[in-house]
A and B are shown apart, each in its own frame.
Chain A
Amino acid sequence: KAGVTQTPRYLIKTRGQQVTLSCSPISGHRSVSWYQQTPGQGLQFLFEYFSETQRNKGNFPGRFSGRQFSNSRSEMNVSTLELGDSALYLCASKLSGGTSGNEQFFGPGTRLTVL
């Protein structure tokens, strides 16, 4: 079974630009979560989608948004990029929605650098 895939793996943008990251979950998994990982803040939860609906949201500004498609693939968008948005963005999928404690499986991440 293929794992979680994320594209692109690396991205360089400049301040003010916007970026879209993509995540394909493990086949059969309907829940997709996004995390931001930085050396200073660690792993921070962004949001979770299940059946195309946002189920949970972390404490990030509205510049961070996401969506999920009917095939469970998910995209994350960051508008008006700031230097502080430079981070590793990790996507994780799990079998069922937010009402269970299923383990999450992570993708390799997208490393975003904002110049």
Chain B
Amino acid sequence: AQKVTQAQTEISVVEKEDVTLDCVYETRDTTYYLFWYKQPPSGELVFLIRRNSFDEQNEISGRYSWNFQKSTSSFNFTITASQVVDSAVYFCALSEASHTGTYKYIFGTGTRLKVLA
């Protein structure tokens, strides 16, 4: 069965520090998608990135970067030079085909990031 593990429940860093949020997933499918979402205090989940299982290239978007490694079933997220506005709960999610052929999302439990000024 599919599963997403975010072992870090809460992380606190001081502004300008780099921080990495870990995500480990389990799936039996060869075709799947991985996502990261940010949930600020307002509550709305904000889409950050999608990765398909055939694309292991790392991606950088400004201060954000993602490291996808199929060999370790991990999809880690790094924020460089963190800012107070990065404070939020971050969710990793896995989407794979169900037995009906449709895709279902499984979310990790989230990592609460606190960036202190």
Where the two chains meet, the residues of A that have a C-beta atom closer than 8 Å to any C-beta of B are: 33, 35, 42-43, 45, 48, 55-56, 88, 90, 92, 97-109, 111
| B101 CB to nearest chain A CB (Å) | 6
Interface stretch, picked from B16-24, B41-49, B56-64, B76-84, is B41-49
Q: Is the interface of B mostly helix, strand, loop or mixed?
A: strand
Q: Are A33 and B43 in contact (CB under 8 A)?
A: no
* Complex CA distance for A55 and B37, rounded to whole angstroms: 23
Q: Are A100 and B103 in contact (CB under 8 A)?
A: yes
* Complex CA distance for A88 and B42, rounded to whole angstroms: 11
Q: Are A106 and B37 in contact (CB under 8 A)?
A: yes
Q: Are B105 and A108 in contact (CB under 8 A)?
A: no
| B56 CB to nearest chain A CB (Å) | 16
Residues of B contacting A97 with CB < 8 Å?
102
Q: Are B47 and A105 in contact (CB under 8 A)?
A: yes
Decide yes or no: A56 and B47 within 8 Å by CB, A42-B107, A101-B33, A101-B95 being known contacts: no
Interface size band for B? 20 to 34
Per-residue A-contact encoding for B79-106, CB less than 8 Å = 1, 0 else: 0000000000001000101101111111
Q: Are A99 and B101 in contact (CB under 8 A)?
A: yes
Residues of A contacting B35 with CB < 8 Å?
103-104
3 cross-chain pairs, A with B, having the tightest CB-CB distances, nearest first? A98-B102, A101-B33, A106-B45
Residues of A contacting B43 with CB < 8 Å?
88, 90, 108-109, 111
| CB-nearest residue of chain B to A108 | B44
Which single member of A56, A100, A107 contacts B98 (CB below 8 Å)?
A56
Q: Are B107 and A101 in contact (CB under 8 A)?
A: no
Q: Are B50 and A55 in contact (CB under 8 A)?
A: no
* Complex CA distance for A83 and B103, rounded to whole angstroms: 31
